[in-house]
Amino acid sequence: MESRTDLNTLTEHVFRTAGEHGLWQPHDTIIVAVSGGPDSVALLHVLHRISKLHVPLNLICAHVHHGLRAESDDEEKLVRRLAEGLGVPFELARIDVPSYMEESGKGFEEAAREKRYAFLHETAVRRGAASIALAHHADDQAETVLLHLLRGSGLAGLKGMKIKRSEKNVELIRPFLRIYKTDLVSVCKQQGYEYAVDSSNFSTKYRRNAIRLDVLPFLGQYNGQIRQSLVQLAEIAGGEDDFMERAADRAYRETVQHKNGRLYFEAPSFLALHVALQRRLIKLILNYLSAGSEITDFHKIEWIRQTMIQNKSTTWSLDIGGGLACIREYDKIWFMHKPQEQSKSYTYELQAAVPELFIPEIGKRMTMKAQSPHDPFFQAKGEACAEAVFDADQLKFPLTLRSRLPGDTMKVMGLNGSKKVKDIFIDAKIPPSARSRIPVLVDGSGNIIWIPGVRRSAHAAVGARTISVLHMCLEDAEAVEQL
């Protein structure tokens, strides 16, 4: 990789990178995170130079005092002097990392990062900033990729950090992400920029330091360009991950449907997708239902996918954790928030036909109307309405509309003998989730004479000698209210 040890060359490189990735617009307010190290010191100088020579920018220098090292006070003074010397407003935060570690149960690196970014975001909001500039460079990128690789990451992790990324309505920008640290240190020395050296950077008790000080030099014995190779991997993985994300978004739009807060797709459509898109589609669905909590657990996603492609049963259910469930009902695979375990039992006894009966347990209503067999029946009301007609004189009252019970059987019209209601549902491919909302109608002799929308029995069939017809209709109560 070419050396960029000259300030002009470095400035031009950053200016081109900004244009390529749209890092800023003229007069943007940018929060520049400055720790006092050579990377962030160079960043503030370069952005200040660009603001004077190329594009007017409103820079804010933001520094975090962690209070953990003796040098922290000196670093604060150094950064404050730097900001004042450039005429850049200075923002300071003193954070108590140990207290936050105890409160959150997080390790030092994660706790310090969260508190630091919280301050940067708060400053960005207060100052009306469009972006937060971070001094991450190519060596940081190489370390990040290797860290993710060791954790077992996919493409999303191997692409490392992005030059520009939105977070909490603010852009995080990294103008130095293609510049190596030696170039930044060289520019600081050439220009006489004062900077601090963080002694904690040499402690291998922190994972990232161990990667930088031990692992990368070890791997360098086998590949003298290991850092460049990892940065190149991040570039390639980033482009391919972006391509796959777009393909997954397209597959989502073409395949996934929404219904009452649940998501579903047709099983054959899913199985026809490439394995890579199958995984990403599942991940997109889980992230959608998890309301912003990104799910990246490969093992969970693969377990769900393997169940879909290997389980030959047409109906099954998975508790996938996080209050979510994945359910297959014949050709449809549903993802939803796990329904509460409750079975609503109900019984309505009718001594005579009634014009209207509401069943709130299932959100339905039943209407009954006596007619002459020569009168036209009710007009069909579409799929939402289940209808049946009976010979009124042959019906044995009282009629009972109730929830289904285990072992229920019905003498189906056109068949000899009786059949279990459960098997009738299976034959009709009624999804298990819909069965609890289908009642059964029982006559005075205890015979199930109708399963609305599914089948009716041979009892009280309308024939040539029928004088009076009882027409019944079961429909959604919500549909009635909308009429």
User: pLDDT (tens digit, 9 = 90+) per residue, 188-244?
Assistant: 999 999 999 877 777 777 788 899 999 999 999 999 999 999 999 999 999 999 999
Q: Answer with the residue of higher pLDDT: 287 or 206.
A: 287
Give yes or no for residue 273 having a pLDDT over 50: yes
- Nearest Cα residue to 238 out of 165, 156, 179, 178: 156
Mean pLDDT of the chain: 88
Three-state secondary structure call for residue 130: coil
**Cα within 13 Å of Cα(362), Cβ side:** 27
> Alpha carbon 442 to chain centroid distance?
46
For a pLDDT cut of 90, what percent of the chain falls above it?
Answer: 56
Of all helices (H) and strands (E), which one includes residue 148? helix 138-151
Looking at residues 30-57, what average pLDDT do you find? Answer: 96
Q: Answer with the residue of higher pLDDT: 174 or 405.
A: 174
* CA R_g for the chain: 34
Looking at residues 183-189, what average pLDDT do you find? Answer: 95
Question: What is the rounded distance in angstroms from the CA atom of residue 139 to the CA atom of residue 305?
Answer: 37
pLDDT category of residue 342 using cuts at 50, 70 and 90? low
Please report the pLDDT score of residue 406 as a whole number. Answer: 86
Angle at which helices 72-86 and 38-53 cross, to 10°? 10
Looking at residues 310-338, what average pLDDT do you find? Answer: 86
Question: What is the rounded distance in angstroms from the CA atom of residue 229 to the CA atom of residue 162?
Answer: 17
Please report the pLDDT score of residue 378 as a whole number. Answer: 45
Q: Which residue is associated with the tokens 């017809």?
A: 469
Instruction: List C-alpha distances in Å: 309 to 232, 299, 318.
Output: 35, 15, 14
Instruction: List C-alpha distances in Å: 305 to 31, 267, 275, 298, 320.
Output: 43, 11, 9, 10, 12
Looking at residues 330-342, what average pLDDT do you find? Answer: 79
Please report the pLDDT score of residue 483 as a whole number. Answer: 37
Q: How is residue 414 annotated by DSSP? A: T
Three-state secondary structure call for residue 346: coil
The answer to whether the 256-337 and 347-482 domains have the same CATH topology is no
Please report the pLDDT score of residue 100 as a whole number. Answer: 84
Please report the pLDDT score of residue 155 as a whole number. Answer: 87
Q: Dihedral sign, CA of 8, 14, 20, 25? A: negative
Looking at residues 387-415, what average pLDDT do you find? Answer: 88
Contact 25, 18 (CB under 8 A): no
pLDDT category of residue 377 using cuts at 50, 70 and 90? low
Domain ranges in the chain are 7-236, 256-337, 347-482
Please report the pLDDT score of residue 381 as a whole number. Answer: 45
pLDDT category of residue 339 using cuts at 50, 70 and 90? low
Tell me the residue length of the chain. Answer: 483
Instruction: Please enumerate in sequence order all residues whose Cβ is within 8 A of that of 86, keeping only pairs 6 or more positions apart, or say none.
Output: 44, 45, 48, 59, 61
Angle at which helices 138-151 and 226-255 cross, to 10°? 60
Domain 7-236 CATH class label: alpha beta
Binding-site residues for ATP: 35-40
Give yes or no for residue 323 having a pLDDT over 90: no
Q: Answer with the residue of higher pLDDT: 373 or 163.
A: 163
Q: Answer with the residue of higher pLDDT: 317 or 28.
A: 28
Instruction: List C-alpha distances in Å: 481 to 5, 383, 387, 439.
Output: 75, 17, 19, 21
Quickly count helices (H) and strands (E) in the chain.
Answer: 17, 22
Mean pLDDT check: name the lowest of 269-278, 423-432, 447-456: 423-432
Question: What is the rounded distance in angstroms from the CA atom of residue 238 to the CA atom of residue 298?
Answer: 19
Tell me which amino acid residue 92 is: L
Binding-site residues: 35-40
Q: How is residue 358 annotated by DSSP? A: E
Q: Answer with the residue of higher pLDDT: 434 or 220.
A: 220
Looking at residues 137-146, what average pLDDT do you find? Answer: 95
Domain 347-482 has CATH 3.50.40.10: yes
pLDDT category of residue 376 using cuts at 50, 70 and 90? low
Greatest mean pLDDT among 123-137, 357-371, 415-429 lies in: 123-137
Give yes or no for residue 478 having a pLDDT over 70: no
Q: Per the omega criterion (within 30 degrees of 0), is the bond before 452 cis?
A: no
Mean pLDDT check: name the lowest of 127-141, 219-233, 332-346, 377-391: 377-391
Q: Which fold has domain 256-337?
A: 3.30.465
Q: Answer with the residue of higher pLDDT: 419 or 378.
A: 419
Please report the pLDDT score of residue 382 as a whole number. Answer: 44
Please report the pLDDT score of residue 340 as a whole number. Answer: 58
Give yes or no for residue 290 having a pLDDT over 90: no
